[in-house]
Amino acid sequence: MRNIQLIFLLILSLPALSYTIGEGDVLHVEVYGEPELALDLTVDSRGFVEYPFIGKLQVKEETVESIKQEIVLMLKDGYFVNPQVTVVIKQYKPYYIQGEVRSPGSYPFEVGMTVRRAIAKAGGLTERASKKKIYLTHANSGASKEIKVDMDASILSGDVILIKESFF
């Protein structure tokens, strides 16, 4: 059963190979043959996780592959001969939807999420919502810049969607 869970997590993480880790993401880390080192780690507000034998590890803006390589190097340094490490994203940080939707708030991110799907998860548009005044702020852009988008725009974890009111 444990192997099936790990395979499922690996399949879910395939689109995540180029994704950069950020605050609120949950990583699942395993070392083959060491069940006590199979842990879920939540990235803190400063971009760190804490792992046995290693301590605090900076993971913000890193990819899953680079984190895996870093853990392997640190575990080889006096702890294990040839550690086989697996790192996958177990849960992405949520996205946020505000404005003229029935249930504004934060929602769990899913790979392939679009503005249209996010609106559906938020209960749909209100009667005052504008379908032409939809703005997106990317969480990882560094600057809080709203970009006007349409319903089929892709969103990333941590993004903020704002649906403005229509006056006519």
Predicted pLDDT of residue 7: 53
* Alpha carbon distances (Å) from 158 to 82, 125, 130, 146: 36, 21, 23, 14
Q: What are phi and psi of 70, to 5 degrees?
A: -65, -45
**DSSP assigned state of 123:** T
- Per-residue pLDDT of 35-58, as tens digits, reads 999 999 999 999 999 999 999 999
Question: Which pLDDT does position 114 carry in this prediction?
Answer: 97
**Which domains are seen in the chain, by residue range?**
2-91 (3.30.1950.10), 95-165 (3.10.560.10)
Within 10 angstroms of residue 166's Cβ, the number of other Cβ atoms is 15
**CA dihedral (61, 67, 71, 73) positive or negative:** negative
> What single letter denotes the amino acid at residue 42?
T
Residue 38: predicted pLDDT: 97
Per-residue pLDDT tens over the stretch 63-84: 999 999 999 999 999 889 999 9
Q: What is the pLDDT of residue 13?
A: 47
The set of residues, in sequence order, having a beta carbon less than 8 Å from that of 2 and lying 6+ positions away, is none
> Which CA distances in Å does 27 have to 48, 63, 123, 136?
11, 11, 29, 26
Q: Whose CA is closest to 123, among 139, 100, 145, 144?
A: 100
Positive or negative CA dihedral for 99, 104, 107, 110?
Answer: negative
Report the pLDDT value the prediction gives residue 144, as an integer from 0 to 100. 76
C-alpha dist (Å) from residue 143 to 42, 140, 146: 24, 8, 9
In the chain, which residues have pLDDT < 50?
A: 13-14
- In this prediction, residue 33 carries a pLDDT of 95
